[in-house]
Every structure is written in C-alpha cells, then in structure tokens.
Chains A and B, each alone.
Chain A
Amino acid sequence: MIVDDDPALRQALNLRLRANNYDVVSACDGYSALALAQKERPDVILLDLGLPAGDGFAVLSNLQQFPSLTTIPVIVLTARDPQSSEARSLKSGAVAFFQKPADNQELLDTVRTCLETGQAFTRRWPR
C-alpha cells in the first residue's frame, strides 16, 4: 500500500512496483490510509510523512491501535530530512526510513526483505 499525497509520485511508484510483480493499492491522506489498510490488509506500507488529514506520524500511531494492523511493516518515504525525522519514525514503529528521491533498487530491496520475512511482530521501541 502506498500512502502519498502527490498523485504523480503515487503513479510512478505504482508502475514500478507492479513491474516487480507486486499488487498495489494507494491512499492519498491519513484518514483514507487507515480505512484502506483495514480493508486490504497490505503486506507492506510505503508511507509519506507530509500528508493532509493527519500526517504520517498520526498514521503510524493509529496503525498501532489495531491488533491486525500493528504487524504490517511500514517503510517511511519522505522529503523530510533524516536528522529530524528518522529517529522519530523508527521509534513510532517504522522499520525503515528513506529520504526522497530514494534509490529505487534500495527501496525495492527493502520491500522484498519485508515481504520475505513475513513475520508478525510489533516494532515498538523497547521500553
């Protein structure tokens, strides 16, 4: 599942992921992302941080509220700078952080690793 408010980027990612034999669904804001995740139960979520209707961090924390959703690996893909956002993303439950423009191969490799692992586990920062 791709969550990004930029339609051009959604389309480009869509094409690329499909070309790699993945099924893709997309959402354009925080609210619909949650609804879509409930409905489709994706295996991986690619999440932008700068979203309307609640930013990416809201989505991350909302995902933790639902037992069925909390186990989906989330990869953050954002224009924001790692120095300010990476640690927070990872502490909020993301498993990886990429800054746009990201290297396509690295992104795909991470997606593949998420899917191959296929493990269900919570990614809370140890407390």
Chain B
Amino acid sequence: MESPANVLLVEDNQGDADLVRLRLVESDPPVKVDCARRLSEALKTLAAKKPSLVLLDLNLPDSRGAETFRRVLEKAPDVPVVILSGQDDETLAMKAVHLGVQDYLIKGDITSKHLERALRYAIERQSLLRALDMTRKQQLEFKNQFLSHVSHELRTPLTCIHQYATLLLDGLAGPVTAEQSDHLKTVLKSVTQLHAMIRDLLEATRAEAGKMRIEPRCMAVGDLMVQAMAMMRPAAEQKRIELEAVLDAAIPLVYADPDRILEVLINLLDNAIKFTPEGGSVAVKACMIETDPSAVYVSVSDTGRGISAQALPRIFERLFQDENAAEGSRSGLGLGLYIAREIVTLHGGRMWAASEPGSGSTFSFHLPVYSLARLLRPVITEEGRLRPSFVLVRVMVKPGRTPPLGNWKVLCLQVLEVVRRCVYVDKDLVLPPMGGLANVETVYVVASTDMERVTIMLRRIQEQLKTIPQLEISGKVEVTAEALEVPANASAQDLDQQVQALATRVQETILAGLAAQAKRNAEKGKK
C-alpha cells in the first residue's frame, strides 16, 4: 500500500493540528504536511496543488459539518479525504463515509501507527473505488455497443425474409393461391413484429446510453391524439373495444417532438387494448393542470384487467412483462413502457401509472407547455425595457409543381439553416417550428429591429435560399414581414407582463396564419 507523499491538514485548533502534524512527521517515510486553518484556505490550496490525501476537521471557522466535506469532495474528487472527528460527531463522520469520504479518525484517540495505517488504507480504498467505477463504465459502454451492433446485424436477414415474402405475395414469382397468400401474410406479420422488436431494442439501448435525441417543436397534443387513435382503431374494433378521446377545448400548445410523443401514445394504446377484454373501453385524455400551468396532462386509461400491486412499481422496468401477455402485440420484448417513459423524461415531463386490479389502469404523463414569452424575453428586452421595434418575419415553403425529391424534411431543414444564417444571433429569434401541416413549412423569426433593417435581412434570405437547388425546382417560398406593435410602456406595468402580452400577440398572429393556411389546403384538397 502506498504511503502519502504529502498531506493537507485542515484543522483550526492549534493543539489538535500540532498533535497530528507531529505524528505524521515522525512516520517512516516522513510525510510532508501542509496546513490550512479555514475552508477557504484549504480550497485554494487544493486548486493549486493536489495532495495525496486530505485530513479534514469538519468544524472550521468558515464552514461546519456536512457542508465542509461536501465542498472539499467537490473541489478535489480524486483526492482521498479522511475526517478528523470529535467524540460526539461519529454519526456525522459515518454519514461522510457514505457520501464519499474514505475514513474517519477520532481526535484524541490517534496513535501514530494508527494514523499511518488509516492514511494508507484511505488511499488504497480511493484507488479501488476509482478502478471499480471505470470498469463499470467500460462494461456499460461495451453492452450498449454490443446491443447496437446486434440490432443492426439482425436487420439484414430480416430484410431478406421481407423482400422474398413480398415478392411471392405480390405475384412476382408466379401466381399465388389464396391459401399461399394467407401463409405469406402470416410470415409478414412476424416480420413486422421482429422489426418492431429490433427497433425497440435499439431505442432502449440508446435511451440508456443517454443518446436518444428528440426534436421538439410547438404542437397541439390534440392532433397527435387524433392520429394515434386513427392508427389503433382497427385493433380496437377487432376486440369490440370502445376508443374515445376526451380533450379540453382550451389546452395550450406544448413543446414536444411529435413523432416521439405519437410513439408514446401508440405504445400506451397498444398496451391498453392488449390488456382489455372484449367489449371494454379505452380513453385518451388531455387537459390542463390546475396546480401547474407550465405542463399539460395526458393519460390513457382502460377498463382492462389492471396491474397487480406487486407488478405496479416495476412496470416501467426494461424487459419486465406481465405473465399472460397477450398475442398480437407490437413487440414482445417488454421495452415499450421503458422507452415511453424515457421519451417523456427527455421532454422534461414525467410518466406514472395507477391501477385497480380487475377494473383497469391509467397511464399518465406531463408535457411542457410551449412558452413563447420565455423564448422571446432575452431577445426583445434590453436593460430592463422592451426594445423599440419588432418585426415578425415569415418564411413559408410550399412544394412546387414537382414534389420535392425524397425527403420533405430535408428541404425544411435546409430552409431553416439558411434562415438561421441570415439573422442576428443576439437580436433576432428564429422560433422553433410550429404547427404540423404536411407539405407546408413555415419558419418564423422575431426580429428585434426596424422595418428597414428587416428589408435587408429579407433580401439576404431570398438570395441564400437560391443556394438550395431542390428548392428552385420543387418549392415556392413566400417571405413576408409584419411590424409588431410595441405594447405601451406604462411604467406601472411589469416588464414580464409586457413580454407576455407581446408573446401572446405573436402567437395568436402565427396561429391564425397557420389556421388560414390549413383551411386553404383543405379547400384545395377538396377540389
């Protein structure tokens, strides 16, 4: 075991300090000792030079108790700490060991042999813990890479099965009898299931590795509810389960990734339908929360068999599955709820479950409300007041006569990039995408400047948009600007209120525009 080369002794009582110092200097080999009387001194020394070990009295003139060791550990997490404890402070000293300190010694009870041994042991323990931690991290990393690799490799043979089964089914290798067609459809059902399992495996692995990404935008929960229900209706109808939605009329918009939240809803609905017997009912609900205006509440509840009290706390665990899991499920791996909860957590919300065995279950979650005021504030205020003028710029992209090749999403991303390059980072705000209109993408910018400068910006945007080749051929761009009225600066009015009022107006303008566009699209569709 290693002996400490130099020790930092943090002790304000001269007598106690001298005793310890003497012991250390007497040891073989002798230990160099630096002294500090106050926490601030100790922290300064730690910043300059890391000792092999810190001997720490918890009660110093500028810090007492748990706070002392907490701050030392924070400052030098790699340096082992041994507490010098008074006779009455043993409980605190033990707590300190739980929280990262290596050992403690009772003052007045320290022989030099004792001290030497304790210090060596503390250094050894610290290095052992570090090695363990590194091994754990490496194993986790390996496991995640392994699972990613496996789920990737599984796709190739799965694709082959899919390709040849569909080839046969589509009659591309000769005529197919009705019976053969049925068999092939059965094969394809398994392919779909396997595909879902591979996807879930990869998603769960990514979630655990902290690599799951979401792309939140401003959106309406109601739209997603409608979509999810439409997708799950056939499955519900097969079991004669009633599927209904309960939606508050005035729910605020949320800031969330529509694809991911759709995934969550489908997951929950799939489970609800799976575990509800024929003739039962499933309901999706979304409403505001009285006690918390910054979040929206969403739930999926069913009249199914419910979850037992033993299973309930484990329901979100990976790979946890209820016995008697029903057939025909999307994925049989038991990862769905884990993934759903990870997605919601990434959004800043939380998810939980409640259940009454025999009568049904409810899975609930929160999503953050979209707050334009919060986003706008740093841009439109300056030194405690509103800037003098703002302009709302709208860049709208619509597909041209030739639909965009491949990915519409790519085109939208390209437009967003161009717009971002043309605005002033500090003074203008490019709003997160709003609305979920297919094939029309609108980028909004709140420019905190006047119409004149905005005209220049608009010209730049138009020029830069020309560098997107696909856009010329397959899209039309409309760029408009509208001056926003600055709310009257009644000095009695709180700046927050002013920001809020402006944000509300901007949001209303935008939503009205999007609604009008949706209406025009719908009418065009009817023709």
A80 within 8 A of B: yes
Task: Enumerate chain B residues within 8 angstroms of A113, measured Cβ to Cβ.
Answer: 403, 405-406
Question: Which of these, A9, A75, A110, A116, contacts B163 with CB under 8 Å?
Answer: A9
Q: Tell me whether A97 and B155 are in contact (CB under 8 A).
A: no
A41 within 8 A of B: no
Task: Enumerate chain B residues within 8 angstroms of A95, measured Cβ to Cβ.
Answer: 405-407, 470
> Which size bracket describes the interface of B in this complex?
35 or more
Question: Which of these, A90, A101, A104, A121, contacts B410 with CB under 8 Å?
Answer: A90
B410 to chain A, nearest CB (A): 5
A101-B191, A117-B473, A123-B470 known; A6+B405 contact, CB < 8 A: no
Question: Which of these, B160, B172, B472, contacts A9 with CB under 8 Å?
Answer: B160
Q: Mark B392-423, 1 if CB is under 8 A from A, else 0.
A: 00000000001101110010001001100000
B196 to chain A, nearest CB (A): 12
Stretch at the interface among B246-254, B357-365, B461-469: B461-469
Q: Tell me whether A119 and B158 are in contact (CB under 8 A).
A: no
Measured CB to CB, the nearest residue on chain B to A116 is B402
Q: Tell me whether B159 and A100 are in contact (CB under 8 A).
A: yes
> Which of B121-179 touch A at CB < 8 Å?
148, 152-153, 155-156, 158-160, 162-164, 166-167, 170, 172-173
Q: Given the complex of chains A and B, what is the CA–CA distance between A127 and B464 in angstroms?
A: 9
A121-B473, A122-B469, A123-B470 known; A79+B155 contact, CB < 8 A: yes
A16-B167, A101-B155, A101-B163 known; A96+B417 contact, CB < 8 A: no
Measured CB to CB, the nearest residue on chain B to A12 is B163
Residue tally, chain A, CB below 8 Å to B:
36
Q: Given the complex of chains A and B, what is the CA–CA distance between A68 and B185 in angstroms?
A: 44
Task: Enumerate chain A residues within 8 angstroms of B206, measured Cβ to Cβ.
Answer: 83
Question: Which of these, A8, A19, A114, contacts B405 with CB under 8 Å?
Answer: A114
Task: Enumerate chain A residues within 8 angstroms of B213, measured Cβ to Cβ.
Answer: 83
Q: Tell me whether A6 and B202 are in contact (CB under 8 A).
A: no
Question: Which of these, A16, A101, A104, A121, contacts B469 with CB under 8 Å?
Answer: A121
B331 to chain A, nearest CB (A): 15
Question: Which of these, B155, B406, B468, B470, contacts A75 with CB under 8 Å?
Answer: B406
A28 within 8 A of B: no
A9-B163, A117-B402 known; A100+B156 contact, CB < 8 A: yes
Question: Which of these, B156, B403, B470, contacts A6 with CB under 8 Å?
Answer: B156
Task: Enumerate chain A residues within 8 angstroms of B407, measured Cβ to Cβ.
Answer: 90, 95-97
A81 within 8 A of B: yes
Q: Mark B200-228, 1 if CB is under 8 A from A, else 0.
A: 00100010000001000000000000000
B330 within 8 A of A: no
Q: Mark A83-98, 1 if CB is under 8 A from B, else 0.
A: 1000000100011110
B195 within 8 A of A: yes
Task: Enumerate chain A residues within 8 angstroms of B163, measured Cβ to Cβ.
Answer: 8-9, 12-13, 16, 101
Q: Given the complex of chains A and B, what is the CA–CA distance between A119 and B206 in angstroms?
A: 39
A67 within 8 A of B: no
Q: Tell me whether A125 and B414 are in contact (CB under 8 A).
A: yes
Q: Tell me whether A110 and B406 are in contact (CB under 8 A).
A: yes
Please name 14 further chain A to chain B contacts, defined as beta carbons within 8 Å, in addition to the given A121-B472, A125-B414, sorted by A numbering.
A6-B156, A8-B163, A9-B156, A16-B163, A75-B406, A95-B405, A100-B155, A100-B156, A101-B158, A101-B162, A101-B195, A117-B402, A124-B469, A126-B467
Question: Which 3 pairs between the two chains have the least Cβ-Cβ distance?
Answer: A96-B406, A12-B163, A79-B155
